Amino acid sequence: MSSRRLGALALATALSSAALAVPTATAATDGSAAVISEVYGGGGNKGAAFTHDFIELYNPTDAPIDLTGYTVEYFSASGNTGGKVDLSGTIAPHGYFLVQGAAGNGAGEALPAPDAEGSLNMSGSKGSVQLADATGTPIDAIGYGAASLKEGTAAAGLSNAKSASRDAEGTDTDDNAADFTTGAPTPTNSGNEAPAPQPEEPAEPEQPAPEGVTAIADIQGTGAESPLKDQTVATEGVVTGVWSEGGLNGFTIQTGGTGAESTDASQAIFVYMGDKPADQYPALEDSVEVTGKVSEFYNSTQINASAVKQLDAPLEKVTPLKVDQLPDGNEAREPFEHMLIQPGEHTVTNNYSLNQYGEVGLAPGKEAFRQPSDIFSPSTDPNSDIQKLTKDNADKLVTLDDGRTRDYLKTDQNTPLPYIAQDDAQTIKSLRTTDTVSFQHPVIVGFSHDQWRFQPTTPVTGNTKGADLPISWEDSRAAELHAIDDVKGEYTIGAFNVLNYFTSLGEEFGGSAYTDREGNKVTVNRGKTRGAYTQSALEDQERKIVAAINGLDADVIGLSEIEDGYAVTGDFAQRDKALKHLTEKLNEAAGSDKWAFVPSPSQDAVPDSPDVIRTAFIYHKDVVKPVGESRIFQDDRFTGTAREPLAQEFQPLKEGEESFVAVANHFKSKGSVAKGDADSGDGQGNNPNVRNAQAQAVLDALHKQEDWKDKPLFALGDFNTYTHETALDVFRNDGFTVPAEKYEADPSYQFSGLLGTLDHVLANKVATGTLDDAQVWNINADEPVAFEYSRRNYNIVDFYDDSPFRASDHDPVKVGFTLGADDSADQPDDPADKPSDEPGKPEDKPSENPSEKPDKPTSGSSSSTSSVGAGIAAAIAAIAGLVAIPGFLAVTGNLQKAIPAPIWVMLPKEVKNFITSLQR
């Protein structure tokens, strides 16, 4: 809520009479206030990362903020005040400020030097924190867990090992659940000090030195926790992993001679060295004896070393344990903790955190994890297919790490990102979701921050040679670059979310900005506009979007997330400004005047209070032309939660072809909750009923367009709805089909390591009969976000290029179809069967003059018609005979794709429909 006051807060329950009465002032929306960037209430408790609770503040502005007179206050889950801390001092621009709270029982590491101290005793799981300015006016708040004071929906509950934090840019949408994520605490003070969470440096053992050596397997035990926890032990093993820099601060040892086969208890353990210098660490393959106290850190068994010495005689070498994949679930993986293993092939399923923590989510085998609601119908039944797949995904996930704990956005911006940079950052190579990786070196199995991990045996960064990385993979970009060119069909139609493409810039209209590592403004954080903040950033964004659209090259493309200049400027004449500019850039790059845009309808047909983003159409003007004005479907079901759909009829320029209709959509997202429609746990996320209503609103509007009722019609865009969620069922129930599902297209979006399709081109009954093909062009969602224009110069390595890859966060979709002849002239003369007058130019309408209709067939032409029908029947019978041959389809695969496009286009609709039915 950094730029909005408590008017944006939601009070789930009334505060008790003992609670503080909170004012409800409203703040400006220019991002001029400090925000709460992280909260942690587990300080000092069992398993805690740090000794004290803390609250971290962030200044998202370009000027210092004087905190004199400011306060932070804690509220219990029931709304009772838990005290406040008076603040003073200054937060530097884009800087942090650390407030230390109460201590627990002493567990965990000391915080970085706090900027303010208090006695706030915060709950480790649920509660609220509020920030007020010098006038006492609340300017930000977060509720976590079962909290009464919150913005929108409360953030998830916390634990002794987890905090709630915003992203590095301080993103604030006035919804705690959307703005805060849970994870390992990363307290940062005004000096930008942010140590990696580690247990306290062990003192000399309180117990007498142990007699004899304890086997590692006996220390580990067969349960989740060591049976020797808090006891001082001596053990010995071969060093298999060393991490003396980067924050892990330790090494692993494994019982000599083990690894050829698995055992009931792990034969390896992590040895924590604290702040000991690197020259006190052993080397890989050394044989050592370690003495220290056994502890559990983030549920991972380790020894806090008090002594490490080389053995006189080397132990037998360790053999990496060969496992295709880890077994499913925590209990089954426990025997592998800290073991050296040689995994089989895995597939990248999550690369979003690569940009921040250098980690990559992996799925075992050759397939990334799918979004369950993209495959199965929503359900809360734990025995349903969707819930089973959700659990299966979670149980199989493993994270490939970089052997470090540093944050590449906060503290390590000047260290090259690992994996996608290699060889002293001289090699740049994308690591895309769906890429299959092979392990060219063994890794250590670790567990931290609630995730099982594969750690390289030494830290890796972008300076590491490619041959020394734990994985190798083929660069899949080249194969994808021209994949979309193969879509079949006489005509093509596409949909593309262009990621807040604005030509009205933040530097012109004001507001706060996200900045790169040097403080340069890149994209708008909060303000009247979105997207690029500067002209330079716009040009970066534009080159990628232009390359993507010209590569997609569909005859008609529905765009979403493009600027509505009317909403931004208040001048209706500016509504198409960004659209016009983009079209000019497309033609400039294409080297010809091939693209045109559909202009806005008259002002009385446009919403009075539109969103700053809208939908739009561009098209190949040598292939089709728009018929009449576009139509905006205004409905209360879109107001304030989505963009109004935009509909347009298009007439092919080829003589005699029937026209078709396209409707561009952009439904409510799954982020902040709208109209109380919160996530029910059925797999659809927030707002499924809102999206259902918006789908019905589209259909209600279309049913009123009498002149379009018999035309091929495509509803397209970013529906924020995976393929088997209920909003698409609303369309299916009205006769629409999902071409991408029919033709087995790839997913268009990646979220939380799950791949699914939010972007669709849907076909009504008439359009379904014209379909030839459908594909998703995987140029964006598979890519690491480091390649996006908005992350340029966030790292010392410049990952930006002007290719279409990572032009957006959504992949474009393209559908091919073949229209029949315009047979409207052969319809009965009953006025009820004729289309109503189109409000466009007369020359844009199919002729309705009876004198221009073709002659009706005479008796002499009936045999010709009959023979055509007999030919169709014979063709279908012949195909049916081939399909009946055992193994025929197994050999040919998708029969439609096996037919050359020129022949497919010439086939009668009846034959094409029969062939496509065979693929269902």
CATH of domain 480-675+685-817: 3.60.10.10
Residue 6: its pLDDT value, please? 29
From CA 416, how far away is CA 404, in angstroms rounded? 13
Q: Which residues contact 855 (CB under 8 A, 6 or more apart)?
A: none
From CA 304, how far away is CA 393, in angstroms rounded? 34
From CA 147, how far away is CA 75, in angstroms rounded? 9
Residue 911: its pLDDT value, please? 67
- Is there a contact between 249 and 272 (Cβ–Cβ < 8 Å)? yes
**Residue written as tokens 């690894």?**
259
Identify the helix (H) or strand (E) that includes residue 116: strand 116-117
Beta bridge partners of 762: 715
Nearest one of 735, 582, 555, 740 to 662, comparing CA atoms:
555
Q: Which residues contact 599 (CB under 8 A, 6 or more apart)?
A: 576, 630
Beta bridge partners of 532: 523
User: Distance from CA of residue 486 to its chain's centroid?
Assistant: 27
From CA 14, how far away is CA 74, in angstroms rounded? 16
Residues of the chain with CATH 3.60.10.10: 480-675+685-817
Residue 200: its pLDDT value, please? 39
Residue 889: its pLDDT value, please? 53
Residues of the chain with CATH 2.40.50.140: 216-319
Q: Is the pTM of this model over 0.85?
A: no
Residue 61: its pLDDT value, please? 87
Residue 899: its pLDDT value, please? 60
Identify the helix (H) or strand (E) that includes residue 551: helix 535-552
Residue 78: its pLDDT value, please? 78
- HSE value, Cβ hemisphere, 13 Å, CA-based, for 866: 6
From CA 178, how far away is CA 176, in angstroms rounded? 5
Nearest one of 355, 49, 306, 41 to 199, comparing CA atoms:
49
Nearest one of 697, 809, 807, 690 to 755, comparing CA atoms:
809
Residue 909: its pLDDT value, please? 54
What CATH architecture is 216-319?
Beta Barrel (2.40)
Q: Mean pLDDT for each 10-residue chunk of the chain (920 residues)?
A: 33 29 35 88 85 93 91 88 90 92 83 91 91 91 89 88 85 86 90 55 41 92 94 98 97 97 96 95 98 94 97 97 96 97 98 97 98 98 97 98 96 97 98 98 96 98 98 96 95 99 97 95 96 98 99 98 98 98 98 98 94 98 98 97 98 96 98 94 97 98 97 99 98 98 97 97 98 98 98 98 98 96 42 34 33 32 43 64 58 52 50 57
Decide the pairing of beta strands 427-428 and 421-422. antiparallel
Decide the pairing of beta strands 116-117 and 96-103. parallel
3-state secondary structure 164-194: EECCCCCCCCCCHHHHCEEECCCCCCCCCCC
Residue 33: its pLDDT value, please? 87
Residue 271: its pLDDT value, please? 98
Q: From residue 126, give the alpha-carbon distance in Å to each of 131, 176, 197, 582.
A: 17, 13, 22, 48
Top-level CATH class of 6-183?
mainly beta
Residue 837: its pLDDT value, please? 34
Q: 576-579: which pairs have CB atoms within 8 A and are 24 or more residues apart?
A: 576/600, 576/616, 577/503, 577/504, 578/501, 578/502, 578/503, 578/504, 579/616, 579/618
Indicate if the alpha-carbon torsion angle 47, 452, 111, 100 is positive or negative: negative
Residue 447: its pLDDT value, please? 96
Decide the pairing of beta strands 268-272 and 300-310. parallel
3-state DSSP helix/strand/coil % of the chain, to nearest 5: 20, 30, 50
Residues of the chain with CATH 2.60.40.1260: 6-183
